[in-house]
Structures are given as C-alpha cells and as structure tokens.
Amino acid sequence: MDFSENCNCKYGTEVQSAHFGSSKPQISLHTVIIYYKDHEDSSLKTMPCCSIANDIQHDPVAICVHLEPLMGEVKTLMPTIRYHFSERRHGKGAPDGIGGCLKRTADTLIGQGKDIHNFETFVNELNKNIRKIKIHAIDTTIISEIDKILPEDLATFKGTMKIHEVAWTNEKPSILQTRELSCLQCSPGESCLHYGLVGSEFGSFRSDISSIKGVALQLLENELNISTESDLIDKTKIEAISV
C-alpha cells in the first residue's frame, strides 16, 4: 500500500488562461492490493483497492482515515489478520499500477472531451469505467476531527528503522508492542521472546483510545452500516495490526 502521486482535475477543452493560470483541484489516491487465500479452494486471490480524497494531507492521521474502509473489506475476507511490513526500501510495486490505471483512465476520458473538474466527477467517472478496482470516496471531515482530538504529547520511541512488526490486540488495548522481525510464534498481547525490542511496550495512550475510536466507529457506521461498537469489535477478532 502507498499513496499515489496526486491527480489534477482537468477540462476536456480549456481556454489558454485556464490551462496556464488556473489552480485546479488536486485529488489524493491511496492504493492497496491485497493477496489472500480463498476459503473454498485455497487459491490465491487479489483485491485491488483505492481510497480517494479531495484532501492532499498524507500524514498518519490521513492514512488512518484512508485505511478505515479497507479494513471493512478485509474483515469480510479474513477473520484473523497478521500484517507485516518492511520500511527499508522504496520502489515500485503492484499498488503503483492501481494508481496508474486510475489516472490513465481519467486522462483518456478527458482526451475524449469529458470534463473531470472536481472530486465528485472524478469518483463517478472512475466507478462507471473501472470494474475490477474497489474505489472508496473518503469523508475528509474525519481527518480534521481526529486532528483535533489527537494529543500532542504522545510518547515517541527511537529505532523506527528496526521495527518490522507492530502488534496489538483487543484483550490489551493499552499495549502496543514492537518487534524487530515478524514473529509467528508469539501471540499478540504477549511479550515476544524472539524479536521483541527492549522497552517497546507503550501504555500511555489508553485514555485517548475511546475518543479516537468513537470517530473511527462513526466513519465505519457510515461506510459499513455497523450499528454498535460491540458488533464492530466482536464480529471479527483481529489479532494483530501492524502500521
């Protein structure tokens, strides 16, 4: 998963002053491709997704909001999740192809005379012309709401480049564990005896979880029609989430 390069809105036909002088809206694309095993025949499946927002903010809060609808999709496919990552490289991968496909489709429509001059038109045209990529329109008001309640004195830690797994569980919501390598033997919520980093458990954010969770739940209710918090938490147990 990664942010794609921002996309500029365009008109099919523009006067010279609009082409050179106007400031056109920019749209943010967050692309993800998920590989998973089918429960029936154990075959490998892919699910390409893209969340689209008219806010070009790319900080951790924005990433959290972009991932909310994706988590809803993932939970319908996999009741138990382990997510491992590597931050030591920056190269091209499958998610970059998703962003390229969406922007190329938009440019093709513009070349055919279609005006894609705002966020709503961009989303509608892509939904009509692309079938195999799940597209989610993001409510950007959630980004500002989380920004307001996010505390400024969150604990920081050294050694970001060493961390390749972050583990969390519903059973111990105030504990966030970090591991130097992905460990499939130690369960989330317990100290890893193999790759756990010294001093890597953080419990200072418990008082802020309820407020942030409330905003996230409201977003999920709008996107997934989930009625209660207990339904959201108990419906599917996610054992580990790495960010």
Per-10-residue mean pLDDT for the chain, 243 residues long? 86 71 82 83 87 87 86 73 61 81 92 90 92 89 80 71 76 75 79 73 48 47 43 37 37
Structure confidence at residue 242 (pLDDT): 36
| Residue 106, amino acid | A
Structure confidence at residue 241 (pLDDT): 36
Residues 120 and 211 in one domain: no
Q: What contacts 53, CB < 8 A, 6 or more positions away? A: 27, 28, 30, 62, 65, 66, 119, 137, 138, 140, 143
SS3 75: helix
The residue whose two tokens read 């790495």 is 242
Asked if the structure places residue 202 within a domain, the reply is: yes
Asked if the structure places residue 65 within a domain, the reply is: no
Asked if the structure places residue 127 within a domain, the reply is: yes
| Residue 196, amino acid | G
Tokens of 67: 């991932």
How far apart CA 80 and CA 237 sit, in angstroms, is 6
Residues 112 and 161 in one domain: no
Q: Which of 114, 132, 150 is the endpoint of a domain? A: 150
Q: Which of 109, 133, 150 is the endpoint of a domain? A: 150
59: burial class by Cβ within 10 Å (0-12, 13-18, 19+)?
Answer: exposed
Whole domain around residue 193: which residue ranges? Answer: 154-243
Residues 42 and 4 in one domain: yes
Residue (of 206, 212, 214) closest to 176 by Cα position: 206
Tokens of 145: 């709401």
Residues 184 and 239 in one domain: yes
Structure confidence at residue 202 (pLDDT): 57
Asked if the structure places residue 239 within a domain, the reply is: yes
Asked if the structure places residue 145 within a domain, the reply is: yes
Residues 186 and 238 in one domain: yes
Residues 124 and 181 in one domain: no
Structure confidence at residue 231 (pLDDT): 41
Residues 141 and 177 in one domain: no
Do residues 49 and 73 make contact, with C-beta atoms less than 8 angstroms apart?
yes
Structure confidence at residue 155 (pLDDT): 67
SS3 163: coil
Residues 125 and 220 in one domain: no
Residues 165 and 223 in one domain: yes
234: burial class by Cβ within 10 Å (0-12, 13-18, 19+)?
Answer: exposed
Residues 132 and 241 in one domain: no
Rg of the chain over CA atoms, in angstroms? 20
Overall pTM surpassing 0.75 (yes/no): no
Do residues 82 and 179 make contact, with C-beta atoms less than 8 angstroms apart?
no
Domain count, the chain: 2
Residues 162 and 227 in one domain: yes
Asked if the structure places residue 67 within a domain, the reply is: no
Residues 126 and 181 in one domain: no
